[in-house]
Structure 1
Amino acid sequence: MGEVANVIVAFAVIVFLFKWVTSSSSGTPDRTAADTLGFRPKNATQDMVDTVSAMFPDIPPDNIRYDLLRTGNVELTTNKILEKGFLEAPPPAYYTLYPRTQNPAPARPATRNTAASTSKQPQESLISRYSLQDRVANQKPDDPPVSEQEIGGKAVWEDTPEKREASLRERKAQMILAARQ
């Protein structure tokens, strides 16, 4: 009977060691997303992240994706941002499943490229846009400042659309020249 007990104990130890060795060697790769995050993640596409990120550019995309994985709904995530003003940061386990990307979201580079291309081009001034160069040249530095009544004041309703347009154009010109002073 003593030998049978030794064989059973030896067999139990071998089974225990085998399970321990095989489970520790594969460990984290076999863990599911639900085990890692602590909840069952819902479907969150990049379009959903881009939509919320376009509405709230100050919220980090990882926070948005994490909340979308929890809720699965853009509307709920948006309401949470509007109510709280922020989204919770994802836990470190989130980054094992969804590593941070080095390049920013696709919607943002287009905005940056547009801003960069406009900064390279010389900005058109209001004086040149409204063709007020000759008025600026005729102004003298010792001219008295223009009063508020002369700047925009109240417009008189003209009879024809052409006269109303000319009156509006003249008021714009006066405001631009007054702002320049």
Structure 2
Amino acid sequence: MGEVVNVLVAFAVIVFIFRWATSSNDTTERSAADTLGFRPKPVTQDMINTISNMFPDIPVDNVRYDLLRTGSVEMTTNKILERGFLDAPPPAYYALFPRETNPTPARAQPSAVTTKSIPKESLISRYHLEERIVTEKPVPEEMVGGKAIWEDSPEKREASLRERKAMMILAARQRMLSQQEKA
């Protein structure tokens, strides 16, 4: 019986010494997982910018905090779409990610490609309808939208869809031009 007690005491001393030797000397510094209460996922600035550009009214700190939790742009986007907001980060979050002194959000910083350098492409040029504008006849309203006839082959269905898109674009152009003439 006495030997069992000696073995248990020796085992406890060995465990205590092992834990003491492997623990960090600085106990004041806590890890991000201890501070936040969960293991943060890796988050890039591109992920934050993507969501901030889609939802400019959501604060950047809320976006970063949710991305740290989920690690996914899609999940954070779905949460915003379903709920309309993101939870505010707890005060411990600001110990790891202090607020910027400059209130300019990250999404407002200019990127390498600005919107001024990207030429705006019209629907007419995107769908190659330039030649149809020259010989433009009024598009009857009953041809725009409505139900399509189900075609036998995928190629015919694709051509039918392409033609319906073209009719809708041309009809929208006609309405826009008539509104501009009225004004």
What TM-score results when the alignment is normalised by the length of structure 1? 0.48
Find the structure with the greater CA-based Rg. 1
**Larger helix percent:** 1
